[in-house]
Amino acid sequence: MSGEIIGTYATAIFLLIGAGFVAVGVIGLLKFNDPMTRLHAPTKVGTVGIGALLVASIIHSYTLGDSSYHELLILAFLFVTAPISANFIAKVNIHLGTCETPPQPDRDDTWATLETPDEEIAKS
């Protein structure tokens, strides 16, 4: 087998893996009930699916003899920003009260997510 045929098969395999993960992420996004459980589908499964699709694109580029670094930059950006955006979405859901409030920490009075200034407590 030549390198081009192996590259084509590897591209097809990564495309199928990526499409499968993205499909599972979409189904999870549609099936889960509350926003916090819905958050796991696109951030966890979707990231792996998009990563597999980008790896397929990298393999295809190198199979054709081109060098492509754009996909590596997209992968790096995706894996850095997905956890940060998931954290922000979770914090918004906690503050809006659309999910169950997490328990208070044991010995930490300065937990920033649910802390309110004393002036606001006195007003209410």
Q: Give me the DSSP letters along 50-114.
A: HHHHHHHHHHHHHHTT----HHHHHHHHHHHHHHHHHHHHHHHHHHHT-SPPPPPPSS-TT-TTT
Per-residue pLDDT of the chain (124 residues; tens, 9 = 90+): 788 899 999 999 999 999 999 888 888 888 888 777 777 777 777 788 888 999 999 999 988 888 778 888 998 898 888 888 888 888 887 777 776 666 666 665 555 556 665 655 566 5
- Residue 53 in contact with residue 19, Cβ under 8 Å? yes
* Predicted TM-score of the model (pTM): 0.69
Q: What is the crossing angle of helices 46-63 and 70-96, to 10°?
A: 170
What is the total residue count of the chain? 124
Pairwise CA distance, residues 78 & 91, whole Å: 20
Burial class (CB in 10 A: 0-12, 13-18, 19+), 48: middle
pLDDT value of residue 56: 93
